[in-house]
Amino acid sequence: MLNKMIIRIIKRRMYKLIFVFLAVVYLCLMDRVFCEEVKTIDGDIIVGEVVGADEDYLSIRHSGDSISFLHWRIISLISRDKEVIILNHEGTQKKFSILTTANSLSAKDMNLMTTDKVSDIYPEETHGRRPFFEHGVKQTAQTAASVSDTQKTGQPGAPAGVPETKAATGQSSSPPPKTWKGSIGAGVNIKDGNTESTSMHAKGEYSRERNRDNIYFDAFARYEVVTNRDTDVDEETINEQRATMKYEYKHTLRLYSFFNQYFEHDEIENLNYRLISSPGIGFRFILKEALKYKAEGGPAYTYERFHGDITEEALGIRVGQYFDWQILPTTAFYAKTEYIQSAEERDDWRLDSGVGIKHNLTKSLLVNLELLDQYDNTPGDGKEKEDRAIIGSVGYNF
């Protein structure tokens, strides 16, 4: 018994150390975000980070967190690192193509004075994650020599042997930007020998992020059967399903209000369903392209129904924090913690947390490794307080 307690304490300490280490790495890399240089048709240079765009305006955040809204018609260039996005104006249409340079390029070096010729510079690895650049963008294998031609003539030069893109020649139009994304995944583990068991899980998530509001949905199901060697009888050891739906309304770039609805079913815990409804206020403390952190809180109402028509309900508070880090263009790390405290019973609280890493093998195929931890300080009779699981999945992005 003592050994089990020591092992459990060591495991908890290890999880904390791993999270602290990742947090330190995260803080060290926070400033490794390139800044854009926006050049207007009058020759003015505006330095900041592109945080949004719509049909009329490009939003630039400056070092003091102030926001500038620039109309597309006054923009001549935007430069960042080694990529150039070219914007051609044809009436009310905006069409993009990308020029790649051998060396870093600044808008100050580009001698273009009208949006009818060229207007945008942007990195390839970022445009793939920016909804407003995902459509209508055609890439070209531009060389340093062609950029030199651009600087001399004031017009974008096409590299030798590479035809002009349709975006540059006006043969295609840009479809509406995609504001939603999602993924589904599943995993199976079969064990035979001294112990015979089969476990499987499935998960899915969907998000839709717009200028004024966000919608999120995720679902998770896990099932496991262990065969008793002595009696040859299958015993169900895991049978749970969870789902969360959340709506966020943006009051400012960082401040938002939300409504969160949580559902859970766990047959092993004799839980028919658990519903947790929570409205509240949240704030995005870190809002960068590759690094995001937000925290939120508000009242919570919990309703539980167990086998035998036993019901429990409680009012309390819910506090959550969410952390996303795009480590590489194809690899992302994420973590979340949600704490719910009953207002009536001090000992009645629960903590749901999870950390994971997701890697895109291709544009559509992904692998996911995740650690989930549920801690209920007042579990049912004969049930343990903590339930942990490490799951691996292969999934599909859509």
What is the CB-side half-sphere exposure of residue 303 using CA atoms within 13 A? Answer: 6
pLDDT at 18: 52
Return the H-helix or E-strand segment holding 71.
strand 67-71
pLDDT at 103: 58
Q: Position 75: which residue type?
A: I
pLDDT at 225: 92
pLDDT at 267: 92
pLDDT at 165: 35
Angle, CA 33 vertex, CA 289 and CA 247 arms, to 5° = 15
Q: Does domain 36-169 have CATH number 2.120.10.80?
A: no
- On whether the CB atoms of residues 204 and 187 are closer than 8 A, the answer is no
Residues 321 and 25: their CA atoms lie apart, in Å, by 18
Per residue, the 3-state secondary structure of 338-364, as one string, reads EEEEECCCCCCEEEEEEEEEEEECCCC
- Which residues pair with residue 293 across a beta bridge? 286, 323
Q: What is the domain class of 179-397 according to CATH?
A: mainly beta
- On whether the CB atoms of residues 272 and 265 are closer than 8 A, the answer is yes
| Rounded alpha-carbon distances, angstroms, from residue 220 to 129, 305, 391 | 25, 20, 11
Contacts of 139 (CB under 8 A, 6+ apart): 97, 98, 100, 124, 165
pLDDT at 196: 84
With CA atoms as reference, report the closest residue to 295 among 325, 337, 332, 262.
337
Q: Long-range CB contacts (< 8 A, 24+ apart) of 257-266?
A: 257/281, 257/282, 258/282, 258/296, 258/298, 260/318, 260/320, 264/240, 265/240, 265/241, 266/239, 266/240
pLDDT at 172: 39
Output the CA torsion sign for 377, 380, 383, 389. negative
Return the H-helix or E-strand segment holding 58.
strand 57-61
pLDDT at 285: 95
pLDDT by residue, tens only, the chain of 398 residues:
555 555 555 555 554 555 555 554 444 444 444 567 777 777 777 877 777 777 777 788 776 567 778 877 777 777 766 665 666 666 666 665 556 565 555 655 555 443 333 334 333 333 333 444 443 333 333 333 333 344 444 444 333 333 333 333 333 344 455 678 899 999 998 887 777 888 999 999 999 988 789 999 999 999 999 987 777 788 888 999 999 999 999 998 899 999 999 999 999 889 999 999 999 999 999 988 889 999 999 999 999 999 988 999 999 999 999 999 999 989 999 999 999 999 988 899 999 999 999 999 998 999 999 999 999 998 877 778 888 889 999 999 98
Return the H-helix or E-strand segment holding 89.
strand 83-90
With CA atoms as reference, report the closest residue to 269 among 222, 226, 227.
222
- On whether the CB atoms of residues 237 and 226 are closer than 8 A, the answer is yes
- On whether the CB atoms of residues 240 and 267 are closer than 8 A, the answer is yes
Residues 242 and 245: their CA atoms lie apart, in Å, by 10
Q: Position 148: which residue type?
A: S
Q: Position 149: which residue type?
A: D
Q: Position 1: which residue type?
A: M
Whether this prediction's pTM lies above 0.75 is answered by no
The number of residues in the chain equals 398
Contacts of 308 (CB under 8 A, 6+ apart): 270
DSSP of 242-284, one letter per residue?
EEEEEEEEESSSSEEEEEEEEEEEETTTTEEEEEEEEEEEEEE
